[in-house]
Amino acid sequence: MKGFLSLLLLALCSFTAAQVLTDIACSPTCAPDQICNTDICKCDLALYTATAAPPTPAVDCTGGSMNLYISICQLEKSEYNSSTLHLTGTEAGCTRAVQNLNDKAQVTFSAPLSTGACGNTVVVNGSHVVYSNKLNVESQVLQYSSFSIIPKNDVSMSVSCAFPLNMSVALNVSLNPLISVTQLTVPEVEEVFTVTMEAYRNPDFTDPITADASPPLTVEQEVYISVVIPALEANTYAVKVINIFATPTSDPSSPERFLLVEGGCPILNLVSVVGNGLTNEARFSMRVFQISGYSSVFLHADVKMCEGTCPTTCSVVS
């Protein structure tokens, strides 16, 4: 009887232990380069090789933010402290998170592309506007017996997002949708600013003209043209349209080019400036015209960004 009770107790203990192990799990689930150890995700350092310097963060500049990604486990293998990573600024809006990205546990930061946000600094040179910050990486403190050591120098890594000042945008439809988007590649981080050109029926710029517009546009009808960079920091930079020209096809390099605005000023009385070089949106009014021998008119614009404002004084076109 005693033998039977011992076996029963042993079976119950085994079941209970198995149940406890099943209940202890990591939430959220660990990244593939981590191991779940009593409900805590810890790095599997056997997957990494120690390096003298911390890993280089990945940077992208989409969505109006500077976004940084850096491997937690590579930092730990190289004796850096991932929990103390920080950008120069720590004010609200500067977000830090730990995420499973690309099969790695990573620390991520997101800093708005605006002056001063998270310690951002801004420099405008002859060709680009550059938002810069510093990612600060501290050494681990290693414990040996009754004393601790700091094995590495702290590191400060410069990160930046650069956007060109001079851009071009084409209205690659024939005043029917009259919306087009040009994406601009920036070599430093291979990201883009989006420039949009759109036409409206009313001077309030609230009734966009679409491809199936009804009633159709007619010659001499007044329309209103907007050129805007939505993600641009409107209080710091402005959009200035340098040239506007029309072509009978969607090809902006067409030899049949009809210049309407030059140097920011109308050269034909078909166009009037509503606002140019004052905010992140430039606006014009235009009387619809037809290019002889063609049924369509395509508009294109050469655009630049200015620090502050860059208005142009134009003489009246007779």
The confidence score (pLDDT) of residue 81 equals 93
Of 130, 132, 172, the C-alpha closest to 305 is 130
Of 66, 100, 232, 81, the C-alpha closest to 165 is 232
Q: What residues pair up with 230 in beta bridges, in sequence order?
A: none
Please give the structure tokens belonging to residue 122: 């801004």
Tell me: the pLDDT tens digits for 247-263? Answer: 988 899 888 888 999 99
Of 7, 11, 36, 8, the C-alpha closest to 22 is 36
The confidence score (pLDDT) of residue 167 equals 86
The confidence score (pLDDT) of residue 292 equals 82
Residue numbers of the chain with a pLDDT score lower than 50: 1-23, 172, 176-179, 190
The confidence score (pLDDT) of residue 241 equals 95
pTM of the full structure: 0.60
Question: Do the beta carbons of residue 285 and residue 271 sit within 8 Å?
Answer: yes
The confidence score (pLDDT) of residue 9 equals 42
Tell me: the pLDDT tens digits for 23-67? Answer: 458 888 999 999 998 888 999 999 999 998 999 999 999 888 999
The confidence score (pLDDT) of residue 22 equals 36
The confidence score (pLDDT) of residue 50 equals 93
Question: Do the beta carbons of residue 53 and residue 79 sit within 8 Å?
Answer: no
The CA distance from 245 to 171, in Å, is: 10
Domains (range + CATH), the chain = 34-164 (2.60.40.3210), 166-307 (2.60.40.4100)
Question: Do the beta carbons of residue 25 and residue 35 sit within 8 Å?
Answer: no
The confidence score (pLDDT) of residue 188 equals 60
